Amino acid sequence: MLTNRSKVVVNKTLTFSESLYFPAIFRGLMITMSHLFKRKVTVRYPEQTRVFSPVYRGLHVLKRDEKGAERCTACGLCAVACPAEAITMVAAEREPGQEALFREEKYAAQYEINMLRCIFCGLCEEACPKEAIYLTPRLVPSSFKREDFFWKKERLLETVENRVDVSRRLMRPAQKGAA
Amino acid sequence: MLDLFFIIQKLILVSAVLAITLVIAMYTTYAERKLAAFFQDRVGPNRAGPFGILQPLADGLKFMFKEAFIPANANKFLFVLGPSISMIAACMACGVIPWGSSLMIMGHEVPLQIADLNVGVLYLFGVVSLGVYGIMIGGWASNNKYALLSTIRASSQMISYEIAMGIALIALTLSTGTLSLKEIVSLQHGGHWNVWVQPLGFIIFIICAFAETNRMPFDLPECETELVGGYHTEYSGMQLGFYLFAEYINMFVSSTVMAALYFGGFNFPFLNSLGLSHNLVTLLGVGVFFAKIFALMFFFIWIRWTIPRFRYDQLMRLGWKVLMPLAIFNMLVTAVLILL
Ligand code: SF4
Ligand code: SF4
């Protein structure tokens, strides 16, 4: 009564034509028949893919800077921010002469994301002070082996020749100032 | 000499009918999955072979390679016997179906029917009722309360609907005056299909056929919420496969019987005015017969994916209080009309 949304339940008995079932069955049959010829909604996945939003949060990428040096400095902020505790890393100090390889004096000797734990929230990307990690509109490939989902640095890192474009992610309002 | 020809001809016919039945039942599973998908705006199985055409083979292989587990407290012999009976009873019914009129091969007339029993309808009815033993024995031998309860359900359902079905058939035999399937089919020559003569009888028959094959609105023996998997709860591997497969064979057989009894079997309009040779007409007739069967099977599937199931008390009420009186009424009216 308070919300004015209460409904009176009618428990009416069926009329004769209803209790024959046939009209209802016939209507039902027509409905299913019309669906037989409708366009199918299934996306045949490996051959077809859905159109992703440009800011889709999929497989991560570890970025390099303009000169090709790794941006990550193994500060561990992403690992701390990660609600799923999917990121682990081992830090190392940059030796003289490695400036072209690593941008900062400290770098991640090992870096691993467990894609089975990851919930693709994007908090690692937000936490990173060095713009080193981004989520991309790519899917983590499926596999029968658990090991295939532990993505090591070698697989996460973009190559110099083959840069991964993350400009769409940068356009997010939250990161506009930083970019 | 003639005997040898006779034996060979029957052997070939038996193997052909058995093979065709099994292949059709196999592909009915595929058709069911495909059509179910289409009715629900999906695409259905499409991975095994082009359009998923090899899916039934894959399913069969999967059943084969799975362990056929027999529970410790089950009666081993009966446990294996159950699915076998289901399967055999389902296949046996094909023996009396007239698939076509006859072929002239090397001067012999070869009827396209394994056995022209003069009590064909009775035989059919008996064999179809045997199917319930497969379910009963399997469910009882499982030594599982769910299986047992489901078995009781299945058998009481089948027995109840068999009565109405039988009475509908009596009306049909009254109007045709014969129990031989071949004669019933020949009597429907030239568009005099029995559906026109016995519309009510046909409706009763088809409803009972749905119940006999345990298909939707009447698929209560399998019920996840109350009875887990029903009578085949304890079954796995190819034994389970047999039970599931028998359902499809039953569906094929019921469609065949309905096509033969009510839709003129291999008769089609202008059968003899085409001026074709005898063999060609026969083959065309077989084709027409199968077209009718497939249309009916499509109807089975169509119904399954359209309407929800009955509640068990509704099912019993429909069987005893609606269908049986209707069938008796139909029989009496037919009898009176014939007398007049
Ligand atoms: S996307 Fe979220 S869950 Fe995945 S690694 Fe980054 S912070 Fe962790
Ligand atoms: S990815 Fe960014 S946040 Fe994570 S360790 Fe490297 S620099 Fe730090």
Domains detected in chain A = 60-171 (3.30.70.3270)
Q: Average pLDDT, stretch B110-129?
A: 81
**Residue B3 to residue B294: CA distance in whole angstroms:** 35
pLDDT of residue B156: 85
Q: Average pLDDT, stretch A15-29?
A: 82
Yes or no: say if B338 and B174 are a contact pair by the CB < 8 Å rule.
Answer: yes
Q: Decide if pLDDT at A176 tops 50.
A: no
CB pairs under 8 A between A and B: 35
Pairing mode, if any, of strands B108-111 and B102-105?
A: antiparallel
Tokens of B21: 């039945």
Instruction: Give the residue, out of A62, A87, A166, A169, with the most ligand 1 atoms within 8 A of its beta carbon, to mutate for a pocket test.
Output: A87
**Residue B175 to residue B331: CA distance in whole angstroms:** 10
- Split at pLDDT 50, 70, 90, the class of A117 is very high
B306 vs A25: CB contact, 8 Å cut-off? yes
Yes or no: say if A120 and A83 are a contact pair by the CB < 8 Å rule.
Answer: no
Query: What is the CA(A133)–ligand 2 centre distance, in A?
Result: 7
- A-chain residues within 8 Å CB-CB of B46? 44
A41 vs B302: CB contact, 8 Å cut-off? no
- Split at pLDDT 50, 70, 90, the class of A92 is very high
- The phi-psi region of residue A89 (left if phi > 0; otherwise alpha if psi is between -120 and 50; otherwise beta) is beta
Window 9-38 of A, Cβ < 8 Å to B: 25, 28-29, 31-33, 35-36, 38
- Split at pLDDT 50, 70, 90, the class of B74 is confident
Q: Rounded to the nearest 10 degrees, what angle do helices B55-65 and B2-39 cross at?
A: 100
* Lowest-confidence region among B122-136, B262-276, B325-339: B262-276
> What residue ranges do the domains of chain B occupy?
72-339
pLDDT of residue A114: 94
* Ranges A145-154, B65-74, B81-90, B143-152, most confident: A145-154
**Residue B184 to residue A16: CA distance in whole angstroms:** 36
A29 vs B306: CB contact, 8 Å cut-off? yes
pTM: 0.77
B41 vs A29: CB contact, 8 Å cut-off? no
As a whole-number percent, the residues of chain A with pLDDT over 70 amount to 94
Helices (H), chain A: 16-19, 22-36, 77-81, 123-127, 153-156, 167-170, 173-176
- Split at pLDDT 50, 70, 90, the class of A178 is very low
Instruction: Give the residue, out of A65, A128, A131, with the most ligand 2 atoms within 8 A of its beta carbon, to mutate for a pocket test.
Output: A128
- Chain A interface, mutation test: which of B298, B307, B309, B317, most A Cβ atoms within 10 Å? B307
Tell me the per-residue pLDDT of B188-227, one tens digit each, with 9 for 90 and over: 877 778 788 888 888 888 888 888 887 878 877 777 777 7
